[in-house]
Structure 1
Amino acid sequence: MSEWRPKRFWETAHVAEAEGGFEVLLDTRPVRTPAKAALRVPTRAMAEAVAAEWDAQIEKVDPASMPVTRSVNAAIDKLSIQRAEVADMIAGYGDTDLLCYRAESPQELVERQASLWDPLLDWADSDLGARLRPVSGVMHTPQDVGALETLRQIVHGFDDFELTALHDLVGLSGSIVLGLAAVRGAQDIETLWDLSRLDEAWQAELWGTDDEAEEMAAIKREAFLHALRFFHLAQAR
């Protein structure tokens, strides 16, 4: 059985000011989230991006072609309901951050991780005030409590829409340092994605690429880039 999708019933999608921000109207009908909440966003730029996605639908609505709308729905229907828990989960990545867990061998990989990942840990220390320490091997080594608390306070300072973006940046990369570096513009987003894939790139150099793994990586990369775009839309005043 094919998946049911609603047909396009509107002529135009446009943006209107609403209490607390902006909404998107399909002709005169306001868009609502899957949970039937009012779709209200904090910036006109985000609302215009949502409207553009609805305007681009042809005969039937295809949610897969509407990443901004999906992120808005997630912020309103999911994250806003369990905001504190999500923020704590994101901050918790600091205790198991990808950039801190280093290979014990071969030496070339050890050196590559150090040369590419250490500068980001130094950045987290100087710009965020959170020094995370690298360790060799996969056994968990607790990080400094003060550094983790600093990261927790930073994360809790984001609004619901910003936090939705950060959730994806951190989850997809496995690193709160990379996620925060993305939203603060410490390095360009493509470089940060490549840094999150350093180990996979090393394996590919040794053994070649796997088509299925490459396809999955491409999907994740696109989601990573979208997350930063969504963050910028949340901040566009």
Structure 2
Amino acid sequence: MSEWKSRRFWTRAEVARAKGGHTIELDGRPVRTPLKSALIVPTRAMAEAIAAEWDAQEEVIAPLSMPVTRSANSAIDKVAPQRAAVADMLADYGDADLLCYRAAAPAELVAQQAAAWDPLLDWADSELGARLGPRTGVMHEPQDPAALRKLRAEVHALDDFALTALHDLVSLSGSLVIGIAAMRDAQDIKTLWEISRLDENWQISIWGEDEEAAQAAAHKAEAFLHAKRFFDLGRVAT
């Protein structure tokens, strides 16, 4: 027996005004999330991106080709019901941020980490008022509580859609500072991704690259770039 698949049943996807933002209608019927909530997004730009994904579907619906739709569903169905817990989980990255854990050797790697990561720690200090200090090795050393409070407040101030984007920016990079820097356009998003991959790229330069690992890294990079796009779509004026 062949696996059942959802098939296209609509002719046209359109954006419509809704209470609290914008929604997407398929032949006049509003789209709902997997948990049957109203799919209402904060900006027209995000709604138009979602409508374009639905319009691009052919005979069989391919969910993996609809990243903005999936992120919006996550914001509504997963993040909104537990936003405080999600915000706390992301804020906790600040106390073990990737950018703070440095190698003791070799000297070339130490220098590369300092050159790439110190400017972002300086940026967090100057722009967010949060000075995080580097440590040598992998053993956890707590950061300044005052700095962590500043970062926590930054995260908790985000709406559900921005928090959804930050979740992927942080979890994929391993760095709260990189995630916030991406949202604030502190550096080019592709540069920030490469900064987060510094240790992995160092290992590749020594041992070579495994094909399976390279494919996994490419998927993560795509997801990281999408998270930034999703954040930006939620900030475009309606």
What is the TM-score normalised by the length of structure 2?
0.98
Tell me: CA distance 1:45–1:2, structure 2 relative to 1, closer, same or farther (3 Å).
farther
Post-superposition offset of 1:79: 0.1
Residue type of the alignment partner of 1:218: A
Tell me, in whole angstroms, the C-alpha distance in 1 between the residues paired with 2:23 and 2:123: 38
Residue 120 (structure 1) aligned with residue 120 (structure 2): yes
Within 5 Å, give how 1:120-199 maps onto structure 2: 120-199=120-199
Deviations 1:85-134 (A, max 9, x none): 00011111000000000011111111110111001000000011000000
Q: Who is 2:76 aligned against?
A: 76
Aligned residues between the structures: 237
Residue type of the alignment partner of 2:15: V
Q: Which secondary structure does the structure 2 equivalent of 1:15 belong to? A: strand
Tell me: CA distance 1:85–1:115, structure 2 relative to 1, closer, same or farther (3 Å).
same
Residue 9 (structure 1) aligned with residue 38 (structure 2): no
Contact residue 99 and residue 134 of structure 1 kept, 8 A: yes
Tell me: CA distance 1:201–1:2, structure 2 relative to 1, closer, same or farther (3 Å).
farther
Q: Who is 1:65 aligned against?
A: 65
Contact residue 67 and residue 226 of structure 1 kept, 8 A: yes
Post-superposition offset of 1:28: 1.3
Tell me, in whole angstroms, the C-alpha distance in 2 between the residues paired with 1:68 and 1:147: 33
Deviations 1:209-234 (A, max 9, x none): 11111000000000000000000001
Contact residue 5 and residue 62 of structure 1 kept, 8 A: no
In structure 2, stretches of 5+ residues that fail to align are none
Residue 92 (structure 1) aligned with residue 112 (structure 2): no
Report sequence identity in percent: 67
Tell me, in whole angstroms, the C-alpha distance in 1 between the residues paired with 2:67 and 2:84: 24
Post-superposition offset of 1:3: 4.6
Tell me, in whole angstroms, the C-alpha distance in 1 between the residues paired with 2:235 and 2:160: 12
Q: Which secondary structure does the structure 1 equivalent of 2:234 belong to? A: helix
Q: Who is 1:41 aligned against?
A: 41
Tell me, in whole angstroms, the C-alpha distance in 2 between the residues paired with 1:200 and 1:231: 26
Tell me, in whole angstroms, the C-alpha distance in 1 between the residues paired with 2:216 and 2:3: 23
Q: Which secondary structure does the structure 1 equivalent of 2:11 belong to? A: coil
Post-superposition offset of 1:5: 2.3
Tell me, in whole angstroms, the C-alpha distance in 1 between the residues paired with 2:132 and 2:171: 18
Residue type of the alignment partner of 2:16: A
Post-superposition offset of 1:4: 3.0
Deviations 1:1-45 (A, max 9, x none): 765321101000000001111010000111000000000001000
Q: Which secondary structure does the structure 1 equivalent of 2:217 belong to? A: helix
Deviations 1:146-185 (A, max 9, x none): 0000000000111000110011000000000000110000
Q: Who is 2:21 aligned against?
A: 21
Q: Who is 2:219 aligned against?
A: 219
The structure 1 segments of at least 4 consecutive aligned residues displaced by more than 6 Å after TM superposition are none
Q: Which secondary structure does the structure 1 equivalent of 2:57 belong to? A: coil
**RMSD between superposed Cα atoms in Å:** 0.8
Residue type of the alignment partner of 1:144: D
Q: Who is 2:103 aligned against?
A: 103
